[in-house]
């Protein structure tokens, strides 16, 4: 399906080449949404984690996944606890806490943040994965990343060989308001084009914490969760036409769930 992502992006940029002004800028934002348009992969989605924040929808394709890498540790780790029930051990990392929740057994914790380079207090995703696993370790990986806006630098710095080790990746993306800056836009586009070469998007869920930003007239959730499935695991491709999914839950209690804007589901 690699051609699908590229053709969508190319189509939007051909529009940009012909049209100047606000319409061109809006088309550039639409190009990002096109790369994130969710698809039905032919595999049912299940929920890992709790009913609120920290629970995510993933494809029911977990057999053979050996380890979860989870940067960004909260006082709750319901996603990792559900992985533990499936004999998936977790590696956790966060410099802002001293330890993971006590109910996680056999997990490994690093008191470091992820970053685009390895330092005394941070490490790259490449180094974390390579240092944590023994050479030739069997099984695929699952990634659950919520690192408050650092995800773009981390993912853009990661080798595609490292990203390809993850069968499933669930990532929360932050900072849509920054898209008005060209540097932020370029960073977003590079990130999603790289991910699109390896994965298909199978679910998108806006976080109801922060609402929708209008970026040159195109609606973008300020914070949103994306579930990716590696392309070799996809059984079929069909458009997703109805969201939220029945298993979606509001991240913030007491507020209605935030629907994904229709512009993200319907080709222009």
Give per-residue pLDDT as tens, 173-195. 999 999 989 899 999 999 999 99
- In this structure, are residues 168 and 58 in contact, taking their beta carbons and an 8 Å threshold? yes
Contact residues for 32 (Cβ-Cβ < 8 A; gap 6+): 179, 185, 188, 189, 192, 220
91-121 pLDDT tens trace: 999 998 899 888 888 899 999 999 999 999 9
Q: 268 pLDDT exceeds 70?
A: no
Distances (CA, A) of 263 to 14, 90, 109, 132, 206: 19, 36, 40, 40, 14
- Sign, CA torsion 4/57/148/223: positive
Taking the model in full, what pTM does it have? 0.90
Mean pLDDT of 122-141: 93
- In this structure, are residues 68 and 142 in contact, taking their beta carbons and an 8 Å threshold? yes
CA 246 from centroid of its chain's CA atoms? 20
Total Cβ atoms within 10 A of residue 15? 17
Q: How far apart are the C-alpha atoms of 88 and 67, rounded to whole Å?
A: 5
Q: How far apart are the C-alpha atoms of 66 and 50, rounded to whole Å?
A: 21
CA atoms within 13 A on the CB side of 100: 23
> What are the residue boundaries of the structural domains of the chain, listed by start?
2-236+245-250+259-264
Q: How far apart are the C-alpha atoms of 216 and 221, rounded to whole Å?
A: 13
Going by pLDDT thresholds of 50, 70 and 90, the confidence category of residue 3 is very low
For position 106, what pLDDT does the model report? Answer: 84
Which of 2-6, 75-79, 94-98, 252-256 has the weakest average pLDDT?
2-6
Going by pLDDT thresholds of 50, 70 and 90, the confidence category of residue 61 is very high
Going by pLDDT thresholds of 50, 70 and 90, the confidence category of residue 241 is confident
Tell me the average pLDDT of the chain: 90
* Bridge partners for 57 per DSSP: 47
Q: What CATH class has 2-236+245-250+259-264? A: alpha beta
CA 241 from centroid of its chain's CA atoms? 20
Percentage of the chain lying above the pLDDT 90 cut? 75
For position 91, what pLDDT does the model report? Answer: 96
Going by pLDDT thresholds of 50, 70 and 90, the confidence category of residue 52 is confident
Task: At 143, list the tokens.
Answer: 């990634």
The values of phi and psi at residue 183, to 5°, are -65, -40
């Amino acid at each position: 399906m690699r051609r699908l992502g590229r053709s969508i992006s190319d189509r939007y940029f051909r529009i940009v080449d012909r049209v100047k002004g606000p319409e061109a800028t809006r088309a550039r934002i639409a190009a990002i949404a096109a790369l994130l348009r969710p698809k039905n992969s032919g595999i049912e989605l299940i929920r890992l984690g709790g009913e609120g924040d920290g629970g995510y929808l993933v494809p029911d394709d977990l057999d053979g996944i050996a380890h979860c890498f989870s940067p960004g540790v909260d006082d709750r780790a319901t996603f990792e606890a559900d992985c533990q029930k499936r004999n998936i051990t977790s590696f956790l990392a966060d410099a802002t806490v001293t330890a993971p929740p006590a109910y996680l057994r056999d997990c490994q914790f690093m008191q470091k943040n992820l970053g685009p380079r390895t330092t005394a207090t941070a490490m790259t995703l490449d180094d974390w994965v390579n240092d944590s696993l023994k050479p030739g370790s069997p099984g695929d990986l699952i990634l659950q990343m919520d690192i408050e806006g650092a995800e773009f630098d981390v993912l853009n710095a990661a080798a595609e060989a490292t990203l390809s080790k993850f069968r499933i990746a669930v990532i929360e993306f932050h900072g849509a308001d920054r898209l008005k800056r060209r540097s932020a836009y370029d960073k977003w586009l590079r990130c999603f084009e790289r991910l699109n070469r390896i994965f298909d998007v199978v679910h998108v869920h806006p976080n109801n914490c922060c609402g929708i930003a209008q970026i040159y007239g195109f609606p973008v959730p300020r914070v949103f969760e994306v579930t990716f499935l590696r392309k070799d695991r996809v059984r079929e491709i069909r458009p997703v036409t109805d969201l939220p999914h029945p298993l979606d839950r509001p991240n913030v209690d007491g507020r209605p769930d935030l629907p994904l804007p229709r512009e993200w589901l319907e080709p222009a």
